Structure 1
Amino acid sequence: MERYRRTERLTWEEMAKAAGVGRQTLNNLRDSKESPRLRTVHKIAAAIGMDQEKAEALAGIEPVEPVEEETEAAPEATGDPAVDARSAIMRDPRLNDRSRKLMLDVFDAIAARFDDPAPPQPAADDNRGHRRAS
């Protein structure tokens, strides 16, 4: 960032405006006061004409392996909502591999809670407005 800013003779404020991020965000990133968010890294990379993967590496963001589509039956054929949801996530052209993996991880975590035969029960009320363990 600093090299680009100096080469282009930009102030930090001009650099922030070009990247579409706040000046304080750039200051915090420059001074290592906050971890960079992927979206911010991509905005800065686009502003300075850097490849996103290179920018991610420079920012210390580890690459995510591409998610392979499962070879299950077509969701229309199964009628299983879980397969339908996973398939929709895999086919959504708006998602990149990182977003797709995150969405699948969240979906799997939520689905696992529904598969749990004994979800935790809230504490019972003792008729005085106090909760007691069940």
Structure 2
Amino acid sequence: EMFDAKYVATAMSLCMQVNWGCNFIVSLGWPFMNQLLGSYSFVPFAIVLAFAFFYSLFILPETQGTTPEALAADLVRRNSRSIVYEPNSNENPGAIDEEWRKAMEQLMKEEQEEMQTGNFNYGFQSVQAQGNQE
């Protein structure tokens, strides 16, 4: 539910690979851990399980009944304090920022020309035009 439909297969594949990798590591380490800890061999697993439980309880968002877009917006809202993006920064602007700046300059230039010629549409309708629509 956290990914768009086009990424679900890739995400599940990656999760399964991580799962099998962790299982492999546990199976390699289990004999040594069992020999070292004896009857307390499951304590490290219980600790990891407790961390995972509290992480999923307090950190991960609830996904039931939400769309991926709403979930992404929620994650951005939650993490926006730590994400800093300054599109107006003069330090090495990216191609998109440069293209956006050029487009906005062109739009402002066109609007100024329309204002000077008297053809600019301010988005208002005259009272007479509103009366004719009713």
TM over 0.5: no
TM-score, normalised relative to structure 2: 0.29
More relative contact order, 1 or 2 (CA 8 Å, 6+ apart): 2
Q: Which has the higher helix share?
A: 2
TM-score, normalised relative to structure 1: 0.29
Higher-Rg structure is 2
